[in-house]
Amino acid sequence: MEYRKNDLVTLKIEDCGVDGEGIGKADGFTVFVKDAVIGDTVKAKIIKAKKNYGYGRLMEIIKPSLFRAEPECAFARQCGGCQLQALTYEKQLEFKEKKVRGHLERIGGFTQIPMESVIGAEHPFHYRNKAQFPVGMNKEGRIITGFYAGRTHTIIENRDCALGVKENKQVLDLVIDHMEKYGIQPYDEVTGKGLVRHILIRYGFFTGQIMVCVIVNGDRLPKAEILSGQLQQIPGMTSISININKKRNNVILGDRLEVLWGKPYIVDKIGDISYQISPLSFFQVNPYQTGKLYAKALEYAQLKGEENVWDLYCGTGTISLFLAQKARFVRGVEIIPAAIDNARENARLNHMENLEFFVGKAEEVLPREYEKNGTYADVIVVDPPRKGCDAHLLDTILKMNPSRVVYVSCDSATLARDLRYLCDGGYRLEKVCPVDMFPNTVSIETVCCLSR
C-alpha cells in the first residue's frame, strides 16, 4: 500500500531510530514518527512520503507504551536538547546498547561482539556541568533565554533545564534582569545587531565552583560591575567574564576573554585528579559518568607502570593525566593550543612530571615522532571527534604496532569503520563498553580495547 502526504495512519511502534524517533509499519509502509516510543500504538499524519517509507507527525497516542515515562521537563517535546525523555531510563540504555551493536555489525562487519553491559547513570537528570544558553527576543519583544528547538534556531524559553544544575536559573535571572533594567539588547542572528549572544555557565560538581561567561557582540557589557556584584552573591561563584564574539556565524565563543571578577577558570576533580577549566576549553559535561569512562579506559589500557603511552586527541589532558598515574610516560596530542596550555597547567597542578604534550594534528604529530625520533608505544589511546580518526593516523598506529589500542568514541558509526580498519591490519577487538554520558539524549560514548 502506498501513502500520500496528509494521510492518517494507525501504527504500532516497534523500533527506535538512531535519532530516537519511533518506527512502525502500516501495510508494509514504514513510518518514522518523532515523539512516539517503542510499544505505543499511535495515530500519525504523513508529512512526507517516499515510495516505501515516510515521516509522520504524532497526532494521538491510542495506547501508550509500557516503556513511556513522564518527561521531567515540560518542554521535552519541542526542545532539541533531549530526544528520549519520554522513554524509561532502562529502555534508553537498551536502545543505546542496540545502537552501538548495530553499527559494529552493519558498518564494522563484526559478528561476535565482546560487549559489556552499558554503564548507566545514577542521575539521569541534572548531570550537566556546562550549559550555553542563547539569548533572544520573543514576538512580544521580551528578552528570553532557553534552548533551540530541534534543527532550528527558535528559542524554547526555559531557564531551568532538567539536565542542568539549579544554579543556572539564578544566574540567568540576574543576567536577564540586568539586560531589562539597562536596556541591553539581545543579539539577533538575522540582522547581526544587538549585544548579548549567549550565557555560558559551568559548575564544578566536586568543588562547587561556578563560572559565568557572557558572550557579547561588542567590546563591553554596560554596567558590567553591577551585574558582576550581584553574581558574586551566588555561593560558589569563582569566575565571571565576558567573551567577545563579533563574528556573524553560529560559533558560540570568540577568542577574546575579559575577566570581570575572580579567576579565569574554575577547578573540578575527576577521581583523584584536579583540572582547571577555562571558558574556552573542552571538558566532558557529565562529571559522574566521566569518572567511569576514564576508569574503563584505564582498565582497558592494562598498565603495569612500565609503559609508554600516547593519548591522541587529548583535549586538556584529562585522559592523559588519568593514564599517567599508572604508566611510565604519557604523550598527549591535541590540535587546539589553548587546550594544551591547560593540559600542561593541569599536569603542574597535580605535580605530575611523566607527561609531554604536543600541539598539532594527531595524524601529523604521531607519524613525525615515529619516523624522525623512532618513538614507540606500548599503548595508544584515541578519543577523536565525531568524524573519527584520519586513515593516515590509523596506518601509523598499525606500523607502530602497540600491544593495545584503547578507542574512546562519541560516534559509534565512525568507531565501527575505524575498528574494522585496525582489525584488518592485525588487531583483535577484545572488549566493547558503552558508557551513557548523556542520559535522555540519543548520544552514547563507547570505549573499546583492541590487542595485537
C-beta separation of 276 from 237 below 8 A: no
Q: How far is the CB of 22 from ligand SAH (least distance, A)?
A: 31
Q: Residue 56 or 315: which CB sits closer to ligand SAH?
A: 315
Residues 6+ apart with CB under 8 A from 153: 134, 189, 250
Q: How far is the CB of 315 from ligand SAH (least distance, A)?
A: 3
300 annotated among ligand-binding-site residues: no
Q: How far is the CB of 398 from ligand SAH (least distance, A)?
A: 18
185 annotated among ligand-binding-site residues: no
Q: Residue 36 or 312: which CB sits closer to ligand SAH?
A: 312
Q: Residue 222 or 271: which CB sits closer to ligand SAH?
A: 271
Residue nearest to ligand SAH (CB): 315
Residues 6+ apart with CB under 8 A from 416: 103, 104, 106, 107, 108, 110
Q: How far is the CB of 314 from ligand SAH (least distance, A)?
A: 5
Point out which residues bind ligand SAH (CB under 6 A).
282, 284, 313-315, 318-319, 333-336, 339, 361-363, 383, 385
410 is catalytic: yes
Q: Residue 170 or 446: which CB sits closer to ligand SAH?
A: 446
Q: Which pairs with CB-CB distance under 8 Å and at least 24 residues apart come from 394-401?
A: 394/418, 394/421, 394/422, 394/425, 396/363, 396/366, 396/367, 396/370, 397/366, 397/422, 398/422, 398/425, 398/426, 399/370, 400/366, 400/370, 400/376, 401/426, 401/452
Q: How far is the CB of 390 from ligand SAH (least distance, A)?
A: 6
Name the catalytic one among 16, 73, 79, 410: 410
370 annotated among ligand-binding-site residues: no
Q: How far is the CB of 361 from ligand SAH (least distance, A)?
A: 4
Q: Residue 82 or 408: which CB sits closer to ligand SAH?
A: 408
313 annotated among ligand-binding-site residues: yes
Q: Residue 135 or 293: which CB sits closer to ligand SAH?
A: 293
Active site residues: 410
User: Residues forming the annotated binding site for S-adenosyl-L-methionine?
Assistant: 284, 313, 334, 383
